[in-house]
A and B are shown apart, each in its own frame.
Chain A
Amino acid sequence: MENFRDFFQTTGFATISLGNVAMIVIGITFITLAIRKHYEPLLLVPIGMGIIVGNIPFSKDMQLGVDNQGAILVEDGQVLTETIKNSEGSESWMLNPLVSLFTGSVGDAEEGDDDASAMESERVRSRSGSVLGYLYFGVSHGIFPPLIFLGIGAMTDFSTMLSNPRLVLLGAAAQIGVFLTFLGALSLDFTAAQAGAVGIIGGADGPTAIFLSAKLAPDLLGAIAIAAYSYMALVPVIQPPIMKLLTTQSERKIRMKPPREVSRAERIVFPIAAFLICTLLAPGALVLIGMLFFGNLLKECGVTDRLAQSARTSMIDIVTILLGFSVGASTAARNFLQPESLLIFGLGATAFAVATGGGVLFAKGMNLFLKEKINPLVGAAGVSAVPDSARVVEMVGLEEDPENHLLMHAMAPNVAGVLGSAVAAGILWSALTN
C-alpha cells in the first residue's frame, strides 16, 4: 500500500495544479478551433498539443521539460559553459555547442573523454537534457524562424508586388502597430527590450515574433509566441470590423486595374536587390530577410526547382511541426499564467488592430494623391499574416461587390508586410541590444 502511495505521489494526478488544468483546456480549445473552425490548423494543432504536453506535471528529478536543455561543466580548467537562470529562478547549465563539439557526446560521464584532444586532461561532467529541451533549442536560439522564412520565400510569388509597387508602402504603414505597441508596453512597465519583443506582435508574423523575443526577452517568449499565433489565427475575426469601420461602402467597391505581367528577369533580380536594400538599411534583419529572399531566389531562378520544392514543402512542414509543438510545450502554467501574459495578450490585440487601421488609413491617404484609386481594404493586408489577411480583404471586398476580386492586389501589401515586419524586428534588435 505504501508503495502504491509513493507511486501515486509521482503521478500527475497528485501534482497537477489548477493552472495546468486551465492550460490543458486552452490547448484543447486551440485544437478544437483548428478542427471545427479551420483557424490556422497547421499552427494551432501543433501548438495546442504542445500546450497539453507542456502542462503535464512531473517530478523535478525527471529531465522532461523544455527548460532541461542539457548541461556541461568543465572543471579544473577553463570554463566553457555559461549559466542561465531557469524559470524557477534556480541556476541551470546551458548547453554550449562548442563544448559538445569538443567532448563528442552528451552523457553522464564523470570523467572527460580521453580522445577529446581539445579537452586534454580536464575533467568534464555533463548532464543530458530532455527531448523537449533539445527541440526547444531551435526556438530559444532563433534557428527555426529563419528556416520558416526560407520556406515562405520559396512559396511566395512577388509578381503582384512587382506589378504594382505603390502597394509596397502599405506594408510599411501597417508597421505603425509595432512601434505604437512598443510605446504602449513601455508605459505598462515592461523594460525596453521586453517592450520591443511585445511590439513585434503587431507585425502579425509568428516567426519574426519568436525570433525577436528569443533575442530580446526569452522569458516572455512563450506568451509572445502564443499571442502572435493566436491573433494570426483570429485575423478573420479581428480585421473585418476595423476595415468596415474605417471605410465607406463606395470605397470598398473601388475596382483596381489587373496586375501587369512580370518578366522572369524582374523576378530573378528582385530578391537580390531587395535583400541588399533591406539589410544595408537594417542589418539586424539579415538572417530573416536573407533566408526569405534566398528561398525566393531558389524558386525564381528556374535551375533549383528541387531545392525550392523541398524548402516550400517538406522542410517548412517539419520546422512548423517542431516550432509549434515546442512553443506550445514551453507554456507550462507556472511560467505562462502570469499577469504579464495577460498584458501581452491585451497589447497584442491592440497591436493587430492598430496595424490593420494604419494600413487602411494610409491607403485612404494615398488615394488623395492618386489618379488610379486604391481600394483601401487592401491596406489591411499590410499586416504580414500571409495569406490570411489577403484572404480577409478578398472576403470583405466580395461582400460589397461579388465581382470585385481583391486577392491578387492584397497579396502585394501582404508580402511587403513580411519585409516591413522583418526590417522592424531588425531595427528593434540592433537598437535594444546595444
Chain B
Amino acid sequence: MDLNRIAADHLHLAVTGMTVVFAALTLIAVFIYSLPRVLAVIDGMFPTAPAEQPAANDEDERAAAIGFALHHHRTQSTR
C-alpha cells in the first residue's frame, strides 16, 4: 500500500463526490419536508371536489337490519 499513489486530483474527486451525494440527498430531504406544505397550499388554491359517497345499497341495509334483529332476538331469548 503506497499512499503516494493517491494524487491530489483523486482526493478532490473523493471529497467532491461525497459532497455531491450529500447535496443531492439533502435537497431531497428538504424537498420532502416542504412537500406536504406545498401540497396544502395547492389544495387551498385549487380545492378538489369532495368525493361523492356511494349511496348505501338497500339490500345491504336490509340484510344488516335483519341480522341485528336476529342477534337481538337470540340474545334476549337465551337470557
Contact = CB atoms under 8 A, between A and B. Distances in A.
Interface stretch (A87-95, A177-185, A314-322, A332-340): A177-185
B30 to A, nearest CB: 8
Tell me what chain A mostly uses at the interface: helix, strand, loop, or mixed: helix
Interface residues of B, number: 31
A263 interface: yes
Contacts of B10: 182-183, 186, 192, 195
Interface in A90-126: none
A171 interface: yes
Contacts of A180: 14
A266 B25 contact: no
B6 A186 contact: yes
A423 B18 contact: no
A423 B20 contact: yes
A431 interface: yes
Specify which of B20, B21, B31 lies most central, judged by the most chain A CB atoms within 10 Å of its CB. B21
B22 interface: yes
A282 B20 contact: yes
B39 A278 contact: no
Interface string B21-46: 11111111111110110010000000
Contacts of B14: 179-180, 182-183
Contacts of A419: 24-25, 28
B3 interface: yes
B61 interface: no
A161 interface: yes
Interface stretch (A24-32, A69-77, A247-255, A267-275): A267-275
Nearest to B43: A265
A397 B6 CA distance: 39
B59 interface: no
A183 B18 CA distance: 13
A273 B10 CA distance: 31
B5 A189 contact: yes
Given A165-B29, A186-B10, A428-B17, A277 B24 contact: yes
Nearest to A274: B28
B76 to A, nearest CB: 42
A363 B28 CA distance: 18
Contacts of B22: 169, 172
A287 interface: no
A192 B7 CA distance: 10
Specify which of B7, B15, B26, B31 lies most central, judged by the most chain A CB atoms within 10 Å of its CB. B31
Given A189-B5, A281-B23, A419-B24, A274 B39 contact: no
B13 A431 contact: yes
Specify which of A165, A420, A431 lies most central, judged by the most chain B CB atoms within 10 Å of its CB. A165
Nearest to B42: A265
B24 A187 contact: no
Contact of A274 (B3, B20, B26, B31): B31
Contacts of A176: 18
A307 to B, nearest CB: 25
A282 B20 CA distance: 8
Contacts of A301: none
B51 interface: no
A263 B15 CA distance: 37
A265 B48 CA distance: 12
Interface in A388-434: 416, 419-420, 423-424, 427-428, 431-432
Interface string A166-208: 1011011001101110111011110010010000000000000
Contacts of A423: 20-21, 24-25
A408 to B, nearest CB: 16
Given A176-B18, A278-B24, A419-B24, A161 B32 contact: yes
Specify which of A161, A189, A423 lies most central, judged by the most chain B CB atoms within 10 Å of its CB. A423
Nearest to A281: B24
11 contacts: A168-B26, A168-B29, A175-B21, A182-B13, A183-B6, A187-B1, A187-B2, A266-B36, A269-B35, A277-B27, A428-B13
Closest 6 CB pairs of A and B: A165-B32, A172-B25, A179-B14, A165-B29, A168-B29, A427-B17
